[in-house]
Chain A
């Protein structure tokens, strides 16, 4: 059980973004990926999701290569990337109910409840284009509350554009996820309120 990768290497043209990244993540563990801008954090996370192919090395879930068991792996995974994946012209709750988690059942009530938990009770009925950056990020993060059953969360800069209170609240949600036995990989330039998160430094060796 768990996520592991062995000797992961990614190149962009002639530049090596990172080389020889290996780690294994067990249930209940969190991994905080750090590094300067351009050190390949997002690329690493996309490789872990199976969106990008690493130049060398492989990612395994439950000892199986993720590309061979993609359909199963993606039922276990929740990824929130830089782009928030929201449709400007849909209401906030419609965004969650119709596209929040592709393929997962989510009713209007579920969506509104998740939004209310992140302080977006009134905003749930507004089109996303009328929301501020921080509020959009909160709508995107409300997906976390819809996916408690997915054990692996891969989050790219979840705390960017959030105010301090919300960032602390997201920290609690992440902490609760790990306490449930979930796994978490995240990048952030802020110190996450995660007790015992392991750290992975990219770009240090090269």
Chain B
């Protein structure tokens, strides 16, 4: 079972390596959008610092939506998704492997870029730490919930818009908790509750999302 999941993970990572431009696009989007705000607003350190968490989170959320529709759509188009559905292993585990590959290629790089972005907004080390922790807990949730949306929109016309419409409401708690954690760290009320809730979201979606996505994939094939 684990072997099949590892095989799939290896295949998806290899594919991302071969098609680097597709994988780099969301990262470039994240970097460009977060860079535009300081340029447009001007060197008002106080203002920049207060809007930074919100902007970073919105950009991360939109960046993850960019490649999400293709999570299953490519496999669906070339027939390899059908082979996955016919695998003897539980589909949930295979979905989880695909989600992990998606996070490694889209979520993890955002974490690496976050310090660079924080520099532009003049965030101090503590705020950056909290932002980073929040992203560490939050970006896997983006991928996990995203797999449900991508599964549901499979085969539908205008799939990428549909994915965004399905997922936006689900992403809102993440957005609120992630950015308010940084604000709470700054005004001294403590960011621990926010981060714990983010962790709870991660645990919850880790438990539920693979099942929901697997069900969506089966329905899409009937």
Contacts and interface: CB of A to CB of B under 8 A. Distances in A.
B80 A71 contact: no
Nearest to A53: B222
Contacts of B83: 79, 85, 99, 101-102
Contact of A74 (B15, B88, B221, B222): B88
A90 interface: yes
Interface residues of B, number: 27
A51 B79 contact: no
Contacts of A65: none
Interface centre among B10, B84, B88, B94 (most CB of A within 10 A): B88
B41 interface: no
B87 A74 contact: yes
Given A52-B222, A89-B18, A102-B8, A75 B88 contact: yes
A80 to B, nearest CB: 9
B88 A90 contact: no
A85 B88 contact: no
B3 interface: yes
A83 interface: yes
B79 A85 contact: yes
Contact of A71 (B18, B88, B94, B222): B88
The DSSP consensus for interface residues of chain B is helix
Contacts of B4: 102-103
Given A71-B90, A102-B87, A81 B15 contact: no
A82 B79 contact: yes
B85 interface: yes
A84 interface: yes
A51 B14 contact: no
A83 B78 contact: yes
A158 to B, nearest CB: 14
B87 A103 contact: yes
Contact of A87 (B10, B78, B85): B78
B78 A84 contact: yes
B82 A79 contact: yes
Contacts of A50: 86
A123 to B, nearest CB: 17
A98 B77 contact: no
Given A72-B88, A81-B82, A98-B10, A87 B222 contact: no
A91 to B, nearest CB: 9
A86 B88 contact: no
Given A81-B82, A82-B79, A86-B78, A103 B11 contact: no
A16 interface: no
B168 to A, nearest CB: 31
Interface string A60-73: 00000000000110
A24 B84 CA distance: 27
A49 B86 contact: yes
A88 interface: yes
A81 to B, nearest CB: 6
A-B pairs with lowest CB-CB distance, top 9:
A83-B79, A102-B87, A103-B4, A85-B79, A98-B11, A89-B18, A85-B80, A75-B88, A74-B88
6 contacts: A52-B221, A71-B89, A77-B86, A85-B80, A87-B11, A102-B94
Interface of B: 1, 3-4, 7-8, 10-11, 14-15, 18-19, 77-80, 82-90, 94, 221-222
